[in-house]
């Protein structure tokens, strides 16, 4: 996928700004990334699909397979090509190469079909991966520089105060400020496109769309659990099910169904929960591995508005799956894209239970509340639809530029304060979605990388180079 021209210009500008400045190290895996999150990253294709094994062979992952819900290797039914030869079987991913022996996989017949062993750390001395049949398994050491830019979370907020670049930005003509914001916004969209299209390459277009939409339903705090759910319950599988089977699986694998105590259930929720359990008990044995507490998605519930509770968002995902052909049709082909039709389909999603409930245990609301509101649709436009479609039909960029801004958030407000100083100057650059996206990109690239209270940040001096 080629980079969009303005995005490339912004990336070159940013790299030039940092030229000669001491490089900060790439974020590593020392921070608490769980094994489950690492598996999720791998499975989304984030590390790519082509690698070199520890003994120098070329390996290409042709099929990422399915995430195993039972005993045995992490991923089943995979296909890889090693130096042009196709191997079908399982893939095991461990934090450390030596985990293979520590966990006795080498003596366990269930691991005999492993065709690729992935790990993040390896001992200095050569370590071989062997099955109980004494077959050597190709190994790949994963590195964080294989990940696309921006995939690792950064610190969320910089200090709320006027930044040193407010003066040059105030003195710059509006057209030049607009130009740098547009380029930064395009760069941001390009990064999102690359991540999304890696997933398309790994799992196909519809699965990648489903996963990206699920991610936006996680809001800021629960994106990872939603991604993991969508990966474990692939679209092909859930679309074959009827509504009750599908919802039972979603609420069962999420851990929400099992966390409900029957004595806490309100009378009006009993029928819905009974329906879910009538299917879940048939499916739960096959999902036993994912019900281990260490394997359950790590939901974050603190400081979440009732309407954004992940259970309700999961209800929205269930409603989306129920209307899937309508949801996916405008995204199937960039030439058939209609923003109005897509927006309309999302806003009209409905669900008998979730339109009036925030959680499985909450009281029924007096009036039905939209499952997906206008702000969420905006997030989906910014994070799914346009990143998917703009590289395929570049004239959609002009349409993207016209989308009004999302409701502002703390990060945008802080970016405006630091970059423009006063809201009056910043106001004309916060009206559109792309303004906010551009501001956020500059804020993340410069303000969040700066630890000198602006003193050593090269951005203000280099602004004059932007023409």
Q: Which is nearer to ligand SF4, 304 or 463 (CB)?
A: 463
185 and 434 in contact (C-beta within 8 Å)? Answer: yes
Q: Which helix (H) or strand (E) holds 61?
A: strand 58-63
Q: Which is nearer to ligand SF4, 397 or 446 (CB)?
A: 446
DSSP bridge partners of 85: 82
Is there binding between residue 13 and ligand SF4 (CB under 6 A)?
A: no
Q: Which is nearer to ligand SF4, 43 or 446 (CB)?
A: 446
- The span from the CA of 185 to the CA of 196, in Å, is 17
Is there binding between residue 460 and ligand SF4 (CB under 6 A)?
A: yes
Is there binding between residue 10 and ligand SF4 (CB under 6 A)?
A: no
Of positions 200, 233, 447, 463, contacts ligand SF4 by CB under 6 A? 447
Residue 456 Cβ, how far from ligand SF4 at the closest point, in Å? 9
Q: Which residue lies nearest ligand SF4, judged by its C-beta?
A: 163
Of positions 4, 226, 459, 463, contacts ligand SF4 by CB under 6 A? 459
- Name the one range near ligand SF4 by CB under 6 A: 181-189, 249-257, 346-354, 457-465: 457-465
- Name the one range near ligand SF4 by CB under 6 A: 4-12, 339-347, 397-405, 442-450: 442-450
- The span from the CA of 450 to the CA of 12, in Å, is 19
Q: Which is nearer to ligand SF4, 393 or 464 (CB)?
A: 464
Q: Which is nearer to ligand SF4, 41 or 419 (CB)?
A: 419
Of positions 208, 269, 382, 457, contacts ligand SF4 by CB under 6 A? 457
Q: Which is nearer to ligand SF4, 104 or 456 (CB)?
A: 456
Residue 422 Cβ, how far from ligand SF4 at the closest point, in Å? 14
Q: For residue 374, what is the DSSP state?
A: H
Is there binding between residue 195 and ligand SF4 (CB under 6 A)?
A: no
Of positions 4, 61, 183, 454, contacts ligand SF4 by CB under 6 A? 454
Of positions 165, 212, 213, 227, contacts ligand SF4 by CB under 6 A? 165
In 10 A of CB 427, how many CB atoms? Answer: 12
- The span from the CA of 13 to the CA of 7, in Å, is 10
Closest CA to 438 of 169, 162, 160, 167: 169
Reading the block at residue 181, the tokens are: 């914001």
CA 365, 367, 370 angle in degrees (round to 5)? Answer: 95
Checking phi first, is residue 7 left (phi over 0); if not, alpha (psi -120 to 50) or beta? alpha
Q: Which is nearer to ligand SF4, 22 or 125 (CB)?
A: 22
Binding track, positions 283-302, relative to ligand SF4; x by CB under 6 A: --------------------
Q: Which is nearer to ligand SF4, 321 or 447 (CB)?
A: 447
Measured distance between the N- and C-terminal CA atoms of the chain, rounded to whole angstroms: 26
Q: Which is nearer to ligand SF4, 315 or 460 (CB)?
A: 460
Number of residues binding to ligand SF4, judged by CB under 6 A? 12
Q: Which is nearer to ligand SF4, 212 or 419 (CB)?
A: 419
Helix axes of 310-322 and 324-332: crossing angle, nearest 10 degrees? 80
- Collect all residues with Cβ–Cβ distance below 8 Å to 160 and sequence separation of at least 6: 414, 417, 418
Is there binding between residue 225 and ligand SF4 (CB under 6 A)?
A: no
- The span from the CA of 256 to the CA of 246, in Å, is 14
Of positions 179, 406, 450, 463, contacts ligand SF4 by CB under 6 A? 450
SS3 content of the chain, % helix, strand, coil (to 5): 50, 10, 40
Q: Which is nearer to ligand SF4, 165 or 316 (CB)?
A: 165
120 and 96 in contact (C-beta within 8 Å)? Answer: yes
Reading the block at residue 156, the tokens are: 């969320």
Residue 454 Cβ, how far from ligand SF4 at the closest point, in Å? 3
- Name the one range near ligand SF4 by CB under 6 A: 81-89, 163-171, 270-278, 287-295: 163-171
Of positions 164, 246, 357, 378, contacts ligand SF4 by CB under 6 A? 164
Residue 4 Cβ, how far from ligand SF4 at the closest point, in Å? 23
- The span from the CA of 253 to the CA of 255, in Å, is 5
Q: Residues 282-312, buried b or exposed e (16+ Cβ, 10 A)?
A: eebeebeebeeeebbbebbeeebeeebbbbb
Which pairing describes strands 85-96 and 75-82: parallel, antiparallel, or unpaired?
antiparallel
Of positions 163, 255, 387, 438, contacts ligand SF4 by CB under 6 A? 163
Residue 154 Cβ, how far from ligand SF4 at the closest point, in Å? 13
| Residues 402-441 close enough to bind ligand SF4 by CB under 6 A | 418-419
Reading the block at residue 174, the tokens are: 């509006």
Give CA 180 to chain center in angstroms.
26
- The span from the CA of 221 to the CA of 303, in Å, is 10
- The span from the CA of 299 to the CA of 356, in Å, is 22
Q: Which is nearer to ligand SF4, 23 or 366 (CB)?
A: 23
| Interface residue list for ligand SF4 (CB under 6 A) | 163-165, 418-419, 446-447, 450, 454, 457, 459-460
């Amino acid at each position: 996928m080629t980079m969009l021209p303005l995005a490339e210009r912004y990336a070159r500008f940013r790299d030039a700004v940092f030229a000669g400045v001491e490089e900060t190290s790439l974020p590593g895996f020392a921070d608490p990334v769980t094994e489950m999150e690492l598996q999720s990253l791998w499975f989304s294709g984030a590390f790519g699909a082509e690698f070199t094994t520890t003994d120098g062979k070329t390996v290409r992952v042709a099929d990422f397979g399915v995430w195993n819900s039972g005993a045995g290797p992490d991923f089943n039914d995979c296909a890889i090509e090693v130096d042009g030869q196709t191997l079908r079987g399982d893939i095991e991913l461990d934090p450390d190469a030596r985990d293979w022996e520590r966990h006795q996989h080498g003596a366990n017949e269930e691991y005999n079909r492993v065709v690729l062993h992935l790990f993040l750390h390896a001992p200095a001395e050569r370590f071989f991966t062997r099955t109980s049949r004494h077959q050597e398994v190709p190994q790949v050491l994963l590195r964080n520089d294989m990940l696309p830019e921006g995939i690792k979370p950064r610190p969320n907020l910089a200090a709320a105060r006027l930044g040193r670049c407010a003066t040059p930005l105030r003195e710059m003509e509006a057209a030049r400020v607009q130009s740098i914001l547009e380029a930064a916004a395009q760069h941001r969209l390009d990064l999102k496109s690359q991540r999304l299209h890696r997933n398309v390459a790994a799992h196909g277009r519809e699965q990648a769309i489903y996963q990206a939409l699920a991610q936006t339903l996680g809001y800021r705090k629960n994106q990872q659990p939603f991604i993991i759910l969508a990966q474990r319950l692939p679209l092909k599988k859930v679309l074959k099910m009827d509504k009750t089977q599908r919802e039972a699986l979603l609420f069962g694998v999420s851990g929400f169904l099992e966390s409900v105590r029957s004595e806490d259930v309100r009378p009006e929720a009993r029928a819905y929960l009974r329906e879910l359990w009538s299917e879940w008990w048939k499916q739960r044995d096959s999902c036993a591995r994912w019900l281990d507490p260490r394997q359950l998605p790590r939901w974050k519930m603190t400081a979440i508005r009732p309407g954004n509770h992940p259970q309700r968002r999961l209800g929205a995902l269930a409603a989306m799956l129920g209307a899937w052909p309508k949801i996916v049709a405008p995204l199937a082909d960039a030439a058939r894209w209609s923003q109005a039709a897509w927006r309309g389909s999302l806003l009209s999603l409905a669900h008998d239970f979730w339109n009036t409930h925030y959680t499985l245990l909450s009281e029924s609301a007096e009036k039905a509340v939209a499952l997906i509101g206008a702000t969420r649709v905006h997030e989906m436009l910014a994070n799914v639809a346009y990143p998917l479609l703009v590289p395929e039909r570049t004239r959609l960029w002009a349409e993207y530029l016209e989308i009004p801004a999302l409701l502002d958030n703390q990060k945008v407000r802080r970016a405006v304060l630091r970059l423009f100083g006063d809201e009056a100057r910043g106001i004309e650059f916060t009206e559109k979605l792309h303004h906010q996206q551009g501001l956020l990109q500059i804020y993340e690239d410069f303000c969040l990388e700066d630890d000198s209270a602006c003193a050593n940040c090269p951005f203000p001096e280099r602004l004059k180079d932007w023409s």
